[in-house]
Amino acid sequence: MSDQPPESKHSLRGGAPERLVLEGATLFGSWLGIPGRANLIEARPYPFPLPRAVKRLRLKEWQAIQAGDSEWFLMAVLYDAKFTSMASLDVWNRVEKRSYGFRRLFPGSRFSLPESLERGETSVGSPGDRLSIATDMAAGTLSLEAQSKSRKAPLDLALRFDLAPGKCFPSSACMPLGLNRAIYSTKILLPCSGTIAAGGPAHHFDPASASGILDDHKGYYPYRLHYDWVTGFGVDASGRRIAFNLTDNQVRDQAAYNENRLWIDGRVDALPPVKITRPNGPGSPWIIQDTEGMVDLVFHPEAAHQIKVRLGLAEIDYEGPFGRFEGELRAATGEMVDASPLFGMGEDKHVRM
């Protein structure tokens, strides 16, 4: 890599729009901030009119949180595919090399995810397990709570994330899959506090060293969905909170529209399109690179995280291991960011639904 930063072709605008869809037309772009309403249900995503109920069946939605510190990492998700829905929590103790959590699949749409992050709570439970994600922008809080009463591996989780201005750093994007068919995503890097009790004494997360990323996501994905994704975060040697998000998906013109970001404390930089390859399969190192000299990473899986579902016309084939990174990312300023303090996860996701 050269010592000079390349001329940037990627930029983030200022405040996000109040609505992503106006009079049926979708607004595409990337912003610093959170849209008022991710109202994709009001779009005309196909060249022929469809009833709202049919559009809703095609709109895949989820909220996910990755969080952790030098000892723990977790991924929590509430996923609504309409034909089926899922509540999942996977926790990895990096010191003891032990996993905890649960996964529950439900027929149909078991819960409803909000159009706005302004204020709301989504929770779901089954005998023995519960998962809840709640936002309150006025109070400046995001919360994640979960319980599992499994006899083999009981778990109790209560985390808080700081949504106050100047503490959290959001980035959002609305990207085209077709002429008016979109994927929307807001990702927010936040300090994390709270406790987790799993297999032993409670562990307390210090917001100076623990982080979380919220992913609020909606999309009119095709029947055959595929994407590759990696994310990581941590604190560097100077105490700065560092994180990144890199995705290769089915978006048209990823050079103009993508959700690839680098966070360095209070700054969010856009990154170019990437390709993710796995020369020896998902359990061996993943290679993540761009063509502009800004992304050169290797992801080393440490803990497997798989979902395999076969339901006739519907199918999920998902590899989402947790692990560490090495390599470098180039900031917009030209600074080279060492990825070795960062830990996170990757996804190789194939869905027919």
Looking at residue 219, its pLDDT comes to: 95
- Is 108 within 8 Å of 80 (Cβ atoms)? no
Place of tokens 């003891």: 96
Out of 2-11, 61-70, 292-301, 313-322, pick the least confident.
2-11
Predicted confidence (pLDDT) per residue in 275-289, tens digit: 999 999 999 999 999
Averaged confidence pLDDT in the chain: 92
119: which strand partners? 136
Out of 52-66, 165-179, 256-270, 305-319, pick the least confident.
305-319
Place of tokens 């291991």: 321
DSSP-derived letter for residue 333 is: T
DSSP alpha helix (H) spans, 32-78: 52-58
Amino acid, single-letter form, for residue 225: L
* Integer CA distances (angstroms), 330 to 56, 222, 245, 265, 322, in order: 39, 33, 13, 15, 23
Predicted confidence (pLDDT) per residue in 146-202, tens digit: 999 887 789 999 999 999 988 999 999 999 998 899 999 999 999 999 999 998 899
What would the two tokens of residue 171 be?
């980035």
User: What is the sign, positive or negative, of the torsion defined by CA atoms of 298, 316, 63, 145?
Assistant: negative
Confidence of residue 346 (pLDDT cuts 50, 70, 90): very high
DSSP-derived secondary structure for 178-202? SSS-EEEEEEEEEEEEEEEEESSS-
Rounded average pLDDT over 300-318: 83
Q: pLDDT > 90: what percent of the chain?
A: 81
DSSP-derived letter for residue 46 is: S
Rounded average pLDDT over 19-23: 96
